[in-house]
């Protein structure tokens, strides 16, 4: 029988209401044996070989932090790009300064262009947003260079803009694309389905094996930097299953990786070209045969409703957007309903990308219809992102047993600009109305959708608890979570969203020995300083992974 290791700490915050605090956790073979004190563990320790590990004695330990919605492959594609964004990005290898004006954006792109020695080397940037950076379309990029391929990804990654050089590089037939859906050819703008078309041309470059693997190594650093022990890849594949899978297994399925990845099937791309619903479900069923120690498919699937929040393509009910434009649907509503019904009837836990209140209305109606046709309990139907909603929709979702996994970072970055130039203050201040969800009894978690938000769960919890936007204003204070609720949203409630509540998310006997070690007690520093807490190490299945090799030496 394996030896017991007892980790001690100034405090273990367990997220277990029956035993909320401890100073020692006994671990054997990657699982927790007991949570308590050294004295309370004597029945175990007197009978079994053991060792005491005191390296965390001066620190505070949380259950391993969980991001229930992140995209490793998308992040691996983006991380080698040049970041030109309106917000500061803290990365393990450095900090990217914000660029908040049109002049600054164009100057930065020009600087990046002039720094490249090879005139034919593509320049691929990520982070453009018109509310900060003004109009930067095909003509503006051509003024920097019409010959070097320049690809500008919008902040959402749901749209991009090409200059003339990129059109030539990708061999795009403009005559063929003149009336294409979700394509603005004059401005070189491709969004949603149009962006997906361009992606097929870009993928040989972006997914080049060496580039992709280096991006995944960077992603591994980012996830560890945030203190995660479990993340969910919430849509597999993003691009190409076989190409992605080989790279994911090579880079992430090994002892160097201090976290595991829950793999959630992308219902459209994992079954591309399949129209028969039974065959579609069967293909997704078969993905579980690929499971490894670190990468795990289960009975979860992802569908998509309306467009990207950062692109202002969320489908909004009356009174809509201030400028009168409309959102977009990411798939036909008939197809969305048919696929949801097939997976619902097969017993799957369904996750749906929804950003606008009109999109949410359709999905809540759909959930009610599915419940009427075939009632289910503990069904795990989850609204992903949850940008805009109404109080009535929250109550209906609660009555139907739905869950919410929200990107509360929307509030931080976008609230001021969307209030002024998108939808007005009332609805902008109610982005991610999480307090209402928790009060209604809805299982509620927060996520990053990395790279839509930084992969820093303690920062997301800080936003959820304080609702402070990027201009320092408190908005929608009635929707704040308590400190305990905010921590639950990145631990045990996130585990429930992934259907893994029996093994991760809290500290108790029988669960995996997953911990996140931090420098101070959140219950002492309070909600207002959650974003100041520093992650020192993580523990996965009882193995310690310091953020710095010298830590705890």
- Cβ(262)–Cβ(349) under 8 Å? no
94-96 vs 382-385, strand pairing mode: unpaired
* 41 plus 98 within the same structural domain: no
Q: How many CB atoms lie within 10 A of CB 33?
A: 20
- Cβ(422)–Cβ(402) under 8 Å? no
Cα 40 to Cα 42: distance, rounded to the nearest angstrom: 6
The owner of tokens 């051509």 is: 142
123-128 vs 94-96, strand pairing mode: unpaired
- Cβ(323)–Cβ(372) under 8 Å? no
* 95 plus 171 within the same structural domain: yes
Distance in Å from the first CA to the final CA of the chain:
28
* pLDDT tens-digit map of 426-461: 999 999 999 999 999 999 999 999 999 999 999 999
* 52 plus 81 within the same structural domain: no
The owner of tokens 């959650």 is: 530
* 134 plus 161 within the same structural domain: yes
- Two tokens at 520? 């101070």
- Cβ(40)–Cβ(33) under 8 Å? no
* 83 plus 110 within the same structural domain: yes
**Taking each helix axis from N to C terminus, what angle separates 193-206 and 209-225, rounded to the nearest 10 degrees?**
110
Cα 445 to Cα 432: distance, rounded to the nearest angstrom: 11
Q: Choose the final residue of a domain: 156, 191, 206.
A: 206
82-83 vs 123-128, strand pairing mode: parallel
Closest CA to 315 of 354, 366, 363, 352: 354
3-class SS of residue 182: coil
* 25 plus 89 within the same structural domain: no
295-304 vs 349-354, strand pairing mode: parallel
Q: How many CB atoms lie within 10 A of CB 44?
A: 16
Note down the domain range covering 521. 4-58+514-546
- Two tokens at 332? 């036909």
* 106 plus 187 within the same structural domain: yes
HEC string for 278-313: HHHHHHHHHHHHHCCCCEEEEEEEEEECECCCCCCC
pLDDT (tens, 9 = 90+) of the chain, 553 residues, equals 789 999 999 999 999 999 999 999 999 999 999 999 999 999 999 999 999 999 999 999 999 999 999 999 999 999 999 999 999 998 999 999 999 999 999 999 999 999 999 999 999 999 999 999 999 999 999 999 999 999 999 998 889 999 999 999 999 999 999 889 999 999 999 998 899 899 989 989 999 999 999 999 999 999 999 999 999 999 999 988 998 999 999 999 999 999 999 999 999 999 988 889 999 999 999 999 999 999 999 999 999 999 999 989 999 999 999 999 999 999 999 999 999 999 999 999 999 999 999 999 999 999 999 999 999 999 999 999 999 999 999 999 999 999 999 999 999 999 999 999 999 999 999 999 999 999 999 999 999 999 999 999 999 999 999 999 999 999 999 999 999 999 999 999 999 999 999 999 999 999 999 999 999 999 999 999 999 999 999 999 999 999 976 666 5
- Cβ(252)–Cβ(261) under 8 Å? yes
Cα 511 to Cα 504: distance, rounded to the nearest angstrom: 6
State the pLDDT at residue 549. 67
Q: Domain holding 176: CATH number?
A: 3.10.310.70
- In a domain, residue 112? The reply is yes
For the beta sheet containing 183-184, the strands, ordered from the edge strand earlier in sequence to the opposite edge, are 82-83, 123-128, 150-154, 159-162, 189-191, 183-184
State the pLDDT at residue 553. 58
Q: Choose the final residue of a domain: 156, 187, 206.
A: 206
3-class SS of residue 387: coil
- Cβ(102)–Cβ(134) under 8 Å? yes
The owner of tokens 């367990």 is: 14
Domains held by the chain: number: 2
DSSP string over 423-461: S-HHHHTTTT-HHHHHHTT--EEE--TBTTS-S-HHHHH
Cα 430 to Cα 57: distance, rounded to the nearest angstrom: 41
Residue 527 Cα to chain centre, angstroms: 22
The owner of tokens 């109305």 is: 433
Using only C-alpha atoms, the chain has a radius of gyration, in whole angstroms, of: 23
Question: What one-character DSSP code corresponds to residue 2?
Answer: P
- Cβ(201)–Cβ(171) under 8 Å? yes
The kind and range of the H/E element at 476 are none
- In a domain, residue 279? The reply is no
- In a domain, residue 155? The reply is yes
* 42 plus 149 within the same structural domain: no
The owner of tokens 């660029």 is: 99
- In a domain, residue 173? The reply is yes
3-class SS of residue 245: helix
- Partner residues linked to 154 by β-bridges: 128
pTM of the full structure: 0.94
Q: Domain holding 519: CATH number?
A: 2.30.40.10
- Cβ(450)–Cβ(222) under 8 Å? yes
- Cβ(452)–Cβ(353) under 8 Å? no
Cis amide leading into 510 (omega within 30):
no
* 91 plus 154 within the same structural domain: yes
- In a domain, residue 118? The reply is yes
> Going by C-beta distance under 8 Å and a sequence separation of 6 or more, which residues neighbour residue 183?
177, 189, 190, 191, 194, 197
Label residues 276-290 b or e (16+ Cβ within 10 Å = b): ebeebbeebeebeee
* 106 plus 192 within the same structural domain: yes
* 34 plus 105 within the same structural domain: no
* pLDDT tens-digit map of 489-511: 999 999 999 999 999 999 999 99
Cα 238 to Cα 254: distance, rounded to the nearest angstrom: 22
- Two tokens at 207? 């997914």
Cα 182 to Cα 317: distance, rounded to the nearest angstrom: 21
3-class SS of residue 515: strand
* 8 plus 90 within the same structural domain: no
Q: Choose the final residue of a domain: 175, 206, 237.
A: 206
- In a domain, residue 156? The reply is yes
- In a domain, residue 354? The reply is no
State the pLDDT at residue 247. 95
- In a domain, residue 79? The reply is yes
């Amino acid at each position: 029988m394996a030896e017991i290791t007892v980790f001690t700490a100034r405090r273990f915050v367990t997220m277990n209401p029956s035993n909320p605090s401890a100073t020692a956790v006994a671990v054997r073979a990657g699982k927790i044996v007991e949570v308590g004190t050294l004295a309370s563990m004597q029945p175990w320790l007197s009978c079994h070989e053991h060792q005491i590990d005191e390296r965390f004695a001066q620190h505070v330990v949380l259950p391993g932090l969980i991001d229930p919605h992140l995209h490793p492959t998308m992040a691996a594609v983006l991380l080698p790009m040049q970041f030109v964004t309106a917000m500061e990005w803290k990365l393990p290898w450095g900090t990217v300064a914000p660029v908040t004006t049109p002049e600054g954006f164009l100057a930065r792109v020009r600087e990046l262009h002039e720094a490249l020695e090879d005139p034919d080397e593509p320049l691929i940037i990520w982070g453009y947003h018109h509310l900060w950076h003004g109009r930067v379309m095909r003509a503006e990029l051509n003024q920097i260079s019409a010959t070097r391929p320049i690809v500008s990804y919008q902040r959402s990654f749901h749209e991009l803009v090409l200059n003339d050089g990129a059109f030539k590089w990708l061999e795009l037939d403009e005559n063929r694309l003149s009336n294409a859906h979700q394509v603005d050819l004059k401005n070189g703008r491709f969004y949603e389905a149009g962006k997906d078309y361009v992606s097929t041309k870009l993928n040989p470059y972006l997914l080049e094996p060496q580039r992709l693997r280096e991006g995944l190594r960077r992603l591994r650093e980012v996830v560890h930097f945030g203190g995660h022990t479990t993340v969910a890849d919430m849509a597999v594949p993003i691009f190409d299953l076989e190409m992605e899978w080989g790279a994911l297994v090579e880079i992430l399925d090994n002892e160097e990786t201090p976290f595991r990845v829950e793999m959630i099937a992308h219902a459209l791309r994992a079954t591309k070209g399949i129209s028969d619903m039974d065959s579609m479900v069967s293909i997704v069923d078969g993905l579980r045969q690929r499971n490894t120690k670190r990468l795990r498919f289960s009975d979860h699937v992802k569908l998509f409703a309306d467009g990207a929040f950062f692109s202002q393509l969320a489908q909004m009910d009356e009174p809509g957007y201030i400028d009168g434009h409309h959102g977009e649907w990411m798939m036909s509503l008939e197809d969305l309903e048919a696929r949801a019904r097939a997976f619902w009837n097969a017993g799957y836990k369904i996750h749906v990308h929804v950003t606008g209140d009109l999109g949410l209305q359709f999905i809540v109606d759909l959930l009610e219809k599915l419940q009427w046709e075939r009632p289910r309990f503990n069904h795990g139907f989850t609204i992903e992102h949850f940008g805009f909603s109404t109080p009535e929709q929250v109550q209906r979702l609660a009555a139907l047993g739905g869950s919410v996994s929200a990107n509360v970072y929307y509030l931080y970055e976008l609230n001021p600009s969307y209030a002024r130039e998108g939808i007005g203050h009332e609805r902008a201040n109610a982005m991610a109305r999480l307090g209402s969800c928790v009060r209604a009894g809805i299982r509620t978690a927060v996520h990053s959708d990395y790279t839509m938000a930084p992969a820093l769960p303690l920062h997301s919890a800080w936003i959820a608890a304080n609702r402070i936007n990027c201009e320092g204003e408190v908005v929608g204070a009635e929707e704040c979570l308590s400190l305990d609720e905010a921590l639950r949203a990145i631990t045990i409630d996130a585990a429930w969203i992934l259907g893994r509540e029996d093994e991760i998310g809290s500290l108790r006997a029988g669960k995996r020995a997953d911990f996140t070690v931090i420098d101070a007690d959140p219950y002492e520093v309070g909600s207002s300083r959650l974003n100041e807490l520093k992650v020192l190490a993580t523990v996965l299945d009882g193995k310690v992974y310091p953020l710095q090799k010298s830590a705890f030496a």
